[in-house]
Chain A
C-alpha cells in the first residue's frame, strides 16, 4: 500500500513541477509577444527627450498626448490615413461580396462548365507568374499610381471562395427550392436568401481581408510612386528610414543633431515613429480580440467540412 501512495505522491509532485514550469514558459511567451506593443504605447505618450534615450521601460515618463496632435501635422500623414482606411473599407467590401457571390454560384450545379471554371480560379493559388511580369501587366493596365491597384487584384481570392462554397453546401437546399418556386432568379436568390444567412463565414472573410488590406505594404512599394497614394504602412517604413538617414547625416556632419531635427520637425524621430506605429497597430489590437473567436471558428468550419 505504502509504495502505491508514494508513487501517487511523486507523480503529483512531478505534476506540480511540470504545471509550474508550463505556466512559467507561457507567461514568458506572453511577455515576449505583448511587451513590444506596450513599449510602443508608453513611449508614444512619454516625454520625447526621455523616450529618445530608450529610458521609458515600464510606465510612461512625463505623460502627455501632444504627439498624437503633432503627428497629424506631418506632411502626408492625414492623407495616408485616408488612403489606408479607404483601401481597407472598399477592398474588404469588394472581396466579401465577390467571395460570397462566387462561393454561392459555384454550388449551382446547373451552371455551364462549373467544374472547369471553379478549377480555373482555384488553381491560381498554386502558381504565380512572378513579380516582374505582374508589375509590367499592372503598368500596361494603367494600374500603377492608381488607387484601384489596392482593390482589383484582391477581389477574387480562391481561399475565400472555398470557405464560402463549403459553408453554402452545409446550408439546406430547401432554402433555394422554396425561393425558386416563388419565381426568384439566381441573383435574387443570392441576395435575398443566401447572403443574409452567410454572416458567420463572411465575418471571417471580412476580418482576414481587412487585416491584409490594412497591413499591405508591398503593393505600395512596387506600384506606387505618387505620394498622394501612400499608405500608413508605407509612411511608417519611410519614417523609420528617414530618421535613420537624419541621424546618419548628423553623425557625418560632426554631431549637431538637434538643429537638423528641428529643421525637419519639432518632434524627435523616436516620438514620431512610436506615435505612427501606435496609430497603425491600434485598430488591429482593438479589432482582433473581438473577432478572434468568430474567425477561428469560421476557419475550422471551413477546414472540417471540406
Chain B
C-alpha cells in the first residue's frame, strides 16, 4: 500500500531544492556521512547482503552442515524445475494460481476508482466521512484477523451457515472455507473487502485536486451530473489509475504470502498456493532451502525485469517514469 502512494506521486531522487557544491569532501561532509553509517549498515545487512544467499541455489544446502559442508550441485535445481514432470506440473500450477489471482486483482482494480467517483457524489459531509472511516478500517487489520472474521462467519458453525439453516435453506452446513472451489475468486473478494476503501483514498485526494472551474464551465454548458462524472472526474483520474495499473503489472508475481498462508488448508492447497506461499511451503516447512532459493531468485529477477519494462513503457507513454 505504501509503495502505491509513492509511485503515484513521488519521484525518489535526491534532487532537492538545496544546491549542490562540488569539490573535495571536507571534514564536515565526511562527518555528516559518518552519522548515517549505522543505518547504511542495517540496509546492507537486511537488503543487500541476502543477495549473496542466492549462491545457496547452486548447492544442496543443509543448515546443519553450513555452506562449506554442503554439496555443490551447479544448476541441478534449475534443471529439475523443467525436467522432472511432477515438479514441472507443480510449479506450473503455482504459476497459474499466481497469475490468475493477480489478473483478478487487476480486473477489479477499477473498483476503488468507481468507489471514489460515486462517493464524491454523496453531498452529506458526515455521511461521506463515516463511509470513508468505516470502509478503510479493514485495511488496518492483519490477515490473521481477516481469516478470523472469515472463520467466524463462514465456518460450518459460523453465522452464515447458522442463518441459512434457520431459514430452512440447507440441512447440512456448506463448507465455504474447506473447499477447493472458486478459491481464486474468494481470495480476490477478501482482498477487495480489505482494500477497497483504502484504495479509494488516493482517488479521493486526486478528485479534490481537480480544478473546480472545469465543473463550473461544464455546468454552464448544461452538463448534468452523470456527464460531469463521465467527462470530467473519470478522465482526470485516469493518469493515477494508469500508474497504479502499471505497478500492479510489475507486481504480477508478488502476491505476498500472508493472505494465502492463513486461508490455506488441506482442501484448497492446490489452488491457493501462489509463488510466495510456495517458496515458504517448500523452503521453511518442507526444508528444501536450495530449491526454494532457486525459485525465489527466478521470481525476484523476473519481477525486476517487469518493473524496468513497465517503467520504460510509462516513460514513453507519459513522459515520466513511475518509480
* A residues lining the B interface (CB < 8 Å): 11, 15, 18-19, 22-23, 25-26, 29-30, 32-34, 36-37, 39-40, 43, 52-55, 57, 98, 101-102, 105-115, 117-122, 124-137, 139, 141, 152-153, 155-156, 158-159, 162, 165-166, 169, 173, 186-187, 208, 211, 214-218, 221-222, 233-234, 236-237, 240, 270, 273-274, 277, 280-281, 284-285, 288-289, 292, 296, 299-300, 302-306
Q: Mark B255-267, 1 if CB is under 8 A from A, else 0.
A: 0011001100000
Chain A residue at smallest Cβ distance from B254: A128
Complex interface: chain A residues within 8 A of B167 (CB): none
- B72 contacts partner chain A, Cβ-Cβ < 8 Å: no
B51 interface hit (Cβ, 8 Å): yes
User: Within the assembled complex, what's the spacing in Å between the Cα atoms of A169 and B130?
Assistant: 34
Other contacts beyond A289-B133, A299-B5: 9, CB < 8 A: A55-B162, A111-B29, A121-B39, A129-B297, A135-B283, A153-B42, A217-B144, A217-B258, A217-B262
On chain B, the residues within 8 Å of A288 by CB distance are: 133, 136-137, 140
Question: Which residues in B have their C-beta under 8 angstroms from that of A53?
Answer: 157, 162
The reply to whether A131 and B292 form a contact with Cβ atoms under 8 Å apart is yes
* Residue among A128, A215, A300 making CB contact with B300, cutoff 8 Å: A128
- A105 to B47 CA separation, bound complex (whole angstroms): 21
- Scan B287-315; emit 1 where CB is below 8 A from any A CB, else 0: 00100110011011001100100000000
B8 x A106 contact (CB < 8 A): no
B207: shortest Cβ distance to chain A, in Å?
Answer: 12
Using A135-B284, A186-B31, A273-B148 as known contacts, say yes or no to A296 and B122 having CB atoms under 8 A apart: no
B31: which A residues are within 8 A, CB to CB? 186
- Whether A215 contacts B141 in the complex (CB less than 8 A), given A53-B157, A105-B35, A107-B16, comes out as yes
**Is residue B87 within 8 Å, beta carbon to beta carbon, of the partner chain?**
no
Residues of B near A187 (CB, < 8 A) are 35
Q: How far is the CB of B48 from chain A (nearest CB, A)?
A: 8
Is B80 on the interface with A (CB-CB < 8 A)? no
Asked if B63 is at the interface (CB within 8 A of a chain A CB), the reply is: yes
How far, in Å, is A127 (CB) from chain B's closest CB?
A: 5
Identify A110's interface contact among B10, B32, B36, B161, CB under 8 A: B32
Q: Is the CB of B9 within 8 A of A304?
A: yes
Contacting residue for A125 out of B6, B14, B28, B39, CB 8 A: B6
CB distance from B159 to the nearest CB of A (A): 5
Could you list some 29 contacts between A and B, CB below 8 A? Answer: A15-B225, A18-B121, A36-B152, A52-B157, A54-B157, A57-B163, A98-B39, A108-B18, A121-B43, A129-B53, A130-B53, A130-B293, A130-B297, A131-B276, A133-B56, A136-B289, A137-B49, A152-B46, A162-B12, A165-B16, A216-B142, A217-B258, A237-B262, A240-B144, A280-B142, A281-B145, A288-B133, A296-B205, A303-B202
Chain B proximity of A172: nearest CB distance (Å)? 11
Q: Known interface pairs A131-B283, A208-B2, A237-B262. Does A37 touch B162 (Cβ–Cβ under 8 Å)? A: no
Residue of A nearest to B46 (CB): A153
The 0/1 profile, CB within 8 Å of A marked 1, for residues 129-171 of chain B is: 0111111111011111101110111000111011100000000
Number of A-B residue pairs with CB-CB distance less than 8 Å in the complex they form: 294
- With CB as the reference atom, state the residue of chain B lying closest to A173: B18
Q: Which residues of A contact B196 (CB under 8 A)?
A: 29
A233 to B11, CA, bound (A): 35
Q: Which residue of B lies closest to A274 (CB)?
A: B152
Give the chain B neighbours of A281 by CB distance below 8 A. Answer: 141, 145
B201 contacts A296, C-beta separation under 8 Å: yes
Residue of B nearest to A157 (CB): B2
Tell which of B19-27, B89-97, B102-110 binds the partner: B19-27
Q: Is the CB of A102 within 8 A of B39?
A: yes
CA distance A245 to B47 in the complex (A): 38
Contact B42–A152 (Cβ < 8 Å): yes
CB–CB B3/A33 < 8 A: no
B51 to chain A, nearest CB (A): 5
A169 and B17 within 8 A (CB): yes
Of chain B, the residue at the smallest CB distance from A285 is B137
- Contacting residues, chain A, for B143 (C-beta < 8 A): 217
Closest beta carbon of chain B to A78's beta carbon, Å: 19
Question: Contact between A37 and B137 (Cβ–Cβ < 8 Å)?
Answer: yes
Q: State which of B46, B121, B300 has its C-beta within 8 Å of the C-beta of A130.
A: B300
Given contacts A32-B193, A34-B137, A127-B304, contact A302 B9 (CB under 8 A): yes
> 3 closest pairs, A vs B, by CB?
A133-B53, A130-B296, A303-B9
